[in-house]
Amino acid sequence: MTEYSEGSPAKATLEQRLKSARRPIVGRESEKELFAQALEALDPPFVVLHIYGPGGVGKTTLLHEFMRLSAEHKASPIYLDARHIDPSPQGFMMVLCLSLGLALDSSPFDYLKTLKKPVLLLDTFELFSPLDTWLRESFIPQLPETALLVFAGRTPLSTAWRSDEAWQQLLRTISLRNLLPEESHSLLIKRGVPENQHAGLLEFSHGHPLALSLVADVINQTKKPFQLNEAADIVQLLLKRFIEEAPSSLHRQALEACSQVSSLNEAQLREALNQEDVFDIFAWLRTLSFIDQGPFGLFPHDLARELIDADFRWRDPEGYNEIHRRVREYYFRQMDAQTGLEKLRSFFDLNFLHRHNPVVKPFWKFSEIGSAYIDLAKSSDFADILAITEKYEGQATVEIVRFYLQKRPEAFRVARGANPEIEGFYISLKLQDLDEDDLNADPALAVILKFMTNKAALRPNDNALMLRLFIDKQEYQLASAVTNQLTSAFVLEWWSLANLSWVVLCTTKADYWYPFFLYYDMERSKEADFKMDGKTFGVFARDFRPSPVSDYVRRIGERELVSDLTVQGLEREPAPQQLFVLSHPDFSEAVKQALRDYHQANALAKNPLLRSSLVKDAEDKLQGLQVVLKDAAFKLKDKTKDEKFYRALNATFFESALTQELAAERLGLPFGTYRYQLNVGIERLTDYLWQLELRS
């Protein structure tokens, strides 16, 4: 065995190799010096360092440099990115615990107190705006006094930070700008770009770090001088050149997949590429200068994402659609298995796939999602809820809201943002739980229930949900980030409900929301409209009993890929074949008629049971119904005491006696006894089939 000395290169650790392989940060000397002084000082000049600047200017790179400096000074850096955290106190604390390797029910504050100097670095801080007050007034005060915090975002901090006398002394703000010319030269040299190309590159980039990094990547990949077109879109040109030089078609597809989703992990990449082993390809993605990573996966810089997406859609529409379908199915499976914050995250990931559809795009504020979070209403919110209602609605609606706050406070969800006051709310009513007090207090309910009864009444065990009212404090019922959060939370309420029947939504902006709800197959139901305080509340509704939620969401999912979709096109779409939803009396009558027509195919073909859930999986519906009827009757034969009822059914319908008198004679029964057994047999067969129908 070969012996090595203590100083031998063979003794070098992987950590040392990783450090040497990382691209060194260029410039930012004053920022690094300020941060290093804070790490060294017993009494640092600030508690919070806030860095802000435009996208691609190097904020994240600087945070990673701060992490390195923290480790050098024996501090303990913790990095969190708001893009991958649900903007709620619970979501923040969950990710913080995960980052610290703690159990989700443990206190991170106790653990942080054991560290000599914890350094918490929060990236993309503008997306933490819903938590602004909570972070400032609740979270940060509980941190140990040795803690240091760094925020990096695109916008300045809220005035609450800057106007507070105490925070004025504990806060330092830096506006990050492009690199100086000498710093840009230094970056290009360290990235291996020949000096004879520097002047032209600095002229077009003006020192923008992302553009310089992209140029360096392209030059290193192609091994050719980079030629600029005077009027070319620089970043688009760079990205196209880079995509063309990907090591293989699978690498290019991985990059394209990354541009489609909000963040990409290895499981999603396996799904998108239909490959078992994607470890090396995923590792390659991580090396790209315009790809960042967070706790939930990799994601491209915003501009890079949109340019890759547009190029992919234009160049390979079939491949584009196929990756969407694979990733969509992945999200569906995730949502079926998830609850709480994880389910909410997957839901927003799923909606992210719809961001380019021209019909729905105006209603989704994708770039602003996360500016508020949804929470159960607390008694301390009631005054704000009533004030928001009074701002936009008349006295009758205010009194109805007041009634629900007293009677059904659990029906309220609120949107919380940066301020202590709520940003909006909605009321979600479980229609199957309503009582006389509700009907007397809210006249709209009688109209809705009558509409449902005329269409297809609720059956035993059915669950129905109604979005009675929703209001954004600033925008009322227009599309906004808050409205997106409110309506998304409502969708998640009914998504996993067992025995889901009706979903009903009410809005005074029915014409405005018509394209949106049409896109999501919510029928405009004018017969259910109602008036209140001089306003007309338009109603959109859907009965999910005829079509499973799984079929519904996949049908909507296909629309995300139709780039030229219009409202008129949606209106012309043929309605999917749906099952009948029969009331118990109608169902019972249909069973009796099916028994009478058992051997008459033409008559049986008109029976509504052929479009019930009883035969939804049968290839031949007519034959399937005959089998279901006969199997249900045969169930009676399993019980000795019920066998006589089966014999009456069999003799009358399945063996097709010409008359009931002949059937009674064949069974050797008095006609009155036969009639009794036949009626009981029909009743028990119907009850058995009804239970099957309800469970389907």
What is the residue-wise DSSP string for 61-86? HHHHHHHHHHHHTT-EEEEEEGGGS-
Q: Which of 234, 233, 180, 174 is nearest to 207 (CA)?
A: 180
Indicate whether 139 pLDDT > 90: yes
Tens-digit pLDDT profile for residues 540-552: 999 988 777 878 8
How does residue 425 score in pLDDT terms, banded at 50, 70 and 90? very high
Of 16-20, 255-259, 432-436, give the lowest mean pLDDT range.
16-20
Length of the chain as a residue count? 696
Indicate whether 284 pLDDT > 70: yes
Indicate whether 20 pLDDT > 70: no
Of 110-119, 170-179, 251-260, 266-275, give the lowest mean pLDDT range.
170-179
Strands 171-175 and 76-81, bridge-based pairing: unpaired
Of 179-188, 255-264, 478-487, give the lowest mean pLDDT range.
179-188
How does residue 238 score in pLDDT terms, banded at 50, 70 and 90? low
Strands 500-507 and 463-472, bridge-based pairing: parallel
Determine the Cα–Cα distance for residues 206 and 212; give it in Å rounded to an integer: 9
Report the pLDDT value the prediction gives residue 144, as an integer from 0 to 100.
93
Residue 173 CB contacts under 8 Å (≥ 6 apart), including other chains: 49, 50, 51, 52, 156, 157
Determine the Cα–Cα distance for residues 678 and 446; give it in Å rounded to an integer: 40
Indicate whether 119 pLDDT > 90: yes
Mean pLDDT over residues 29-57, rounded?
Answer: 87
Tens-digit pLDDT profile for residues 618-672: 788 888 888 889 888 888 887 778 888 888 888 888 887 778 888 888 888 899 9
Of 577-586, 601-610, 662-671, give the lowest mean pLDDT range.
577-586
Residue 47 CB contacts under 8 Å (≥ 6 apart), including other chains: 140, 147, 148, 149, 170, 171
Indicate whether 46 pLDDT > 50: yes
Report the pLDDT value the prediction gives residue 657, as an integer from 0 to 100.
73
DSSP string of 590-650? HHHHHHHTTT-HHHHTT-GGGGSGGGTT-SSHHHHHHHHHHHHHHHHHTSGGGHHHHHHHI
- CATH code for the part of the protein at 19-175: 3.40.50.300
Instruction: Confirm if 681 and 648 have CB atoms less than 8 A apart.
Output: yes
pLDDT cut 70: percent of the chain above it: 90
Instruction: Confirm if 52 and 156 have CB atoms less than 8 A apart.
Output: yes
CB count in 10 Å sphere of residue 355: 16
Tokens encoding 16: 């040392």
Distances (CA, A) of 27 to 3, 57, 79, 141, 366: 42, 12, 22, 33, 34
Q: Which 3-state string (H, E, C) describes 244-312?
A: HCCCCHHHHHHHHHHHHCCCECHHHHHHHHCCCCCHHHHHHHHHCCCEEEECCEEEECHHHHHHHHHHH
Tens-digit pLDDT profile for residues 383-417: 999 999 999 999 999 999 999 999 999 999 999 98
Instruction: Please give the distance of CA 71 from its chain centroid, rounded to a whole number.
Output: 36
Please state which CATH class domain 373-572 belongs to: alpha beta
Report the pLDDT value the prediction gives residue 464, as an integer from 0 to 100.
94
Q: Which of 48, 136, 50 is nearest to 420 (CA)?
A: 136
Report the pLDDT value the prediction gives residue 383, as an integer from 0 to 100.
96
Determine the Cα–Cα distance for residues 498 and 500; give it in Å rounded to an integer: 5
Indicate whether 328 pLDDT > 70: yes
Report the pLDDT value the prediction gives residue 370, as an integer from 0 to 100.
67
Instruction: Please give the distance of CA 452 from its chain centroid, rounded to a whole number.
Output: 29
Instruction: Please give the distance of CA 465 from its chain centroid, rounded to a whole number.
Output: 20
Mean pLDDT of the chain: 85
Report the pLDDT value the prediction gives residue 111, as an integer from 0 to 100.
94
